[in-house]
Amino acid sequence: MNFTPYQKFVVAVLAFLQFTVVLDFMILSPLGALLLDELDVSTKQFGAVVSAYAFSAGVAGVLAAGFADKFDRKKLLLFFYSGFVLGTLLCGIAPSYEFLFAARMVTGLFGGVIGSISFAIIADLFPFQVRGRVMGFVMTAFSAAQVLGIPLGLYLSNHWGWHAPFLMIVAVSALVGVVILLYLKPIDEHLKAPSEGNALRHLFKTLAEARYFWAFAATTLLAVGGFMLMPFGSTFLVHNVGIPFDQLPIIYVVTGVASFIAGPLLGRLSDSIGKYPLFAMGSALAVVLVVYYCGIGKTPLAIVIALNVVLFIAITARMVSAQALSSAVPDSQDRGAFMSINSSLQQLAGGVASSVAGFIVVQTAHGPLLHYEELGYVVSGAIVITLILMFKVNRLVQAKLSASQPPAAHAAPSAE
C-alpha cells in the first residue's frame, strides 16, 4: 500500500506530537540526578513525581473514555493537547517540589489521553495490514526524544537550570498545535456508527466486553518496565555504572539513533512476519538483557551503549507490535473508549510501578543505588506474563479478522 500525501502528513504530525508528549515524560529521567540534589528530595519523593503524572493520566483516561467516541477526534486531540501544554508550562515555572508535583498532575490529566486519541486516529485511517508500519513511524517519537530532545534538555538544564527543558517543550508543542489546528482534517467517520447515547453507559459497556479484557490486561503490564526502570535510569548509570553525568547524552543519542532507524524497519517486519511473532522475539531478548543490565557494576561506556542499543531495539519491537495488535481488538464504535481505557490502565499500572520502584530502590549516602537488580527481576517477570496474555490477544484478533473476510469463491475445476 502506497500512502497518499495526506496520510504521510498525518503520520508525520502524529509522530511529532508524540515526540513532545514522550519527551515531557522522559525528560524527568535524565534530570533525576539534578532534581534529587536541587530540590533536596528522596528517591521516594522523586518516584512520587513520576507517579503523579501516571495516576492523573490514568484517572483522565477513564473519565474521557465515555466521551471518546462522541466527538470529532481532531477537536478532542486539540482540547487535550492544549491542557498538556499548560501543564508543561507550570512545570517550567515550578519553584518547589510541591508545585512541581501539582504541575505533573495537571500535565498527566491532559497528556495521558493524547496517546490513546492518536492511536484511535491511526486505527481509523489505516488498515490493519499496514498498521505496524504506521506504528513503527509514530513510535520513532521515543527515539527522536532521545536523539534530539534529551541531549538538548540536558544541555539547557546544565546552562539555565532544570526548568529550561520544560519551557523548550512548551515552545515546540505550541507550534505543533497550530499545525494540527490548520491542516488536520476532521476525523468523524466513527460518529456514523451506532453507539450508546449515554457516555457512562458507553464506558461500562466497553469495560464489560469480554473480548477486550485480555488486551486490557496485557497492555497494563506492558507499561511496568519503563515506569520501574526509567525514573532511576540516569542515577543508576552515574552512581552505579560509573558514567560521568556529562557523558549521559552520548548514551541517549546513540541509543536513540539506533531505535530511530529500527522503528520503521520493525514496523514493516511486524506486517510481514506477524505482530505476535515479533512481539515474542522482542520479549525474549528483553528478558535476558534486563536481568543482565540491572546487575552490572562499573562498566566501560562502549559496552553500556551497546547494551542500551540492543535493549531499546527489543523494547521498540515489543511496543510497535503490541500497539498494532491491540488496535485491531475493538470495534470502530468503541475504538476511542477502548484506547482511553487501555491508556488509563497503562498509566495507573505505571504509577504503581514507579511508586513500588521508589520503595525498592534506595540511594546510599555515597550515591550508589541499592536493590536495582531486584527491579530487573520484577520487570522480567512482567514481560513473561505479558507475552502469555498477548498470545490470547493475537488469537482473538486473528479470529476477528477471519470472520470479517468475505467467503472465498469456490475453486475452479481442476484442469486435470
**Stretch (H or E) spanning 137:** helix 131-138
* d(C-alpha 51, C-alpha 54), whole Å: 5
**Which amino acid is it at 209?**
E
Tell me the per-residue pLDDT of 168-225, one tens digit each, with 9 for 90 and over.
899 999 999 999 999 999 988 877 766 656 667 777 888 888 888 898 889 888 877 6
Tell me the per-residue pLDDT of 190-206, one tens digit each, with 9 for 90 and over.
777 666 566 677 778 88
Query: With bands split at pLDDT 50, 70 and 90, how would you rate the model's confidence at 415?
Result: very low
Domain regions of the chain by residue span: 7-184+202-398
- Farthest-apart Cα atoms in the chain, separation: 84
**Looking at the predicted structure, is the pLDDT value of residue 262 above 80?**
yes
* d(C-alpha 43, C-alpha 41), whole Å: 7
Quick one: fold of 7-184+202-398? Growth Hormone; Chain: A; (1.20.1250)
Alpha helices in 126-187 (DSSP H): 131-138, 140-144, 150-160, 164-183
**How far from each other are the two terminal CA atoms of the chain, in whole angstroms?**
36
**Looking at the predicted structure, is the pLDDT value of residue 323 above 90?**
no
The CA–CA distances, whole Å, from 270 to 235, 281, 308, 343 equal 34, 11, 22, 22
**Looking at the predicted structure, is the pLDDT value of residue 317 above 80?**
yes
Query: With bands split at pLDDT 50, 70 and 90, how would you rate the model's confidence at 29?
Result: low
Query: With bands split at pLDDT 50, 70 and 90, how would you rate the model's confidence at 49?
Result: confident
The phi, psi pair for 378, rounded to 5°, reads -65, -45
Tell me the per-residue pLDDT of 368-407, one tens digit each, with 9 for 90 and over.
888 888 888 988 998 999 999 999 999 999 988 887 765 5
Collapsing DSSP to helix, strand or coil, 41 comes out as: coil
- Residues in CB range of 392: below 8 A, 6 or more apart: 214, 218
